[in-house]
Structure 1
Amino acid sequence: MRAPDTILPLRAEGLGFTAGGVRILRDVSLIIEAGAPTIVIGANGAGKSVLLRLLHGLLAPTEGRVAWAGLAARRQAMVFQRPVLLRRSVLANAVYPLHLAGVARTEREARARDALALVGLGDLADRPARRLSGGEQQRLALARAAALHPEVLFLDEPCASLDPTATKAVEEIVLALAARGTKIVMTTHDLGQARRLAGEVVFVHRGRVAEHAPAPHFFAEPATPEAAAFLRGELVW
């Protein structure tokens, strides 16, 4: 049977994760479909980042499973809060993941330059990557991921250490990627950012998915008292 043309929907089925004797996630079941960004929110320590790493495949669950509709190995990517850059030029940083992914040598530079243009770094292609500002480095990390043309892009608190101007630039890139058809799954602690970006919200509370709803419904009428308290800034871990 021919493999499906999409890797979505993504299903988490009874997902759990324990580390060092501490149960971080438990009994997480959800379905992530194509469409507008899925934003994962919750208090610090709720398990948001661990959930993203399990969905991406960076961590193996200790309970349950993650199931993609198709072969996901090279059709998804992840960007972390603090990008690790090579001691090379901006362009070389964008080209390198394409080399690892087996993209033909004749295509790599053009794809990398297109991705740099998307994030507003086209004019800095020859600059040493580690001389970029924090916001520019995060945009480069997004360009590296975008150059791979992923169907799904996981973003773990990509704006956590950025100033408002850099945050706005990253949000614009996220929306541009979503408009191109990339499914964004992103964690954030910033409720304003969640309101600006989310098509749907996954609210994680004490290691469980307490709510999964379209963004307008979640923000207007949260279904659980925990979510309502969190939106009021009253939830204490």
Structure 2
Amino acid sequence: MRPAERPEIATLPLFRDMGEAERNRIFSGSFLQVFPPQLTLFELGQRADFLHVLVDGLAELYAHSAGRDTTMRIVEPVTSFILAAVVTDMPYLMSARTLTSSRVLLVPAALVREVIKQDTALMQATMHELALGYRDVVRALTDMKLRQSAERLGNLILQQERRQGSTGRVQLRAEKRVLASLLGMTPENLSRAFGVLGSHGLVVDGSQVRVVDRSALEAFSRPDPVRE
């Protein structure tokens, strides 16, 4: 990593509370690279050689079997992936590819495991990210089991609206086919779900979504009672 890049990366949640010597050790062995859209970063079953930290852009975690793909997660900055494989030194359970031009920090997995043993702040940050990842999985599984397709879409829109500043507007960053896969739908079902939500306070214009009646959308979508 170039010296000019280090101050920005040092503020990332995973590294900001580390001791300076340990942080410099991590940075000395890391690479900050820009990848084009639709580039495969790693494949399911590969051993985790690097911890990936998405600094800018958008990435997709997906699984595939028997000629079929399904989106498991859409990764937005700033977050690491897949930390569990790095910590356990086990193969990836998902593949990853960029959805847009993305800036990704690559930290050697062996170096991460070694420094975790020496730096309490990095250990605590790692535990925190793993815990958040677990909670995301629980939310996604609950969503899939307890909500119909249009309700899942409405709940996702409400989550994104909060994350994007609670302005009543949502920018869909991923293509709708990826969004459909994430929600366990076909693209046709996603279009129908948007149509249903049009009767419950949502207006869609391409990738721009407006929440014009929040109460109606919440009543229909039944957002999580426990907020993030």
The verdict on a shared fold, with TM-score over 0.5 as the criterion, is: no
TM-score, normalised by the number of residues in structure 2: 0.29
TM-score, normalised by the number of residues in structure 1: 0.29
Give the number of the structure whose alpha-carbon radius of gyration is greater.
2
Q: Larger relative CO (CA 8 A, sep 6+): 1 or 2? A: 1
Pick the structure with more helix per residue: 2
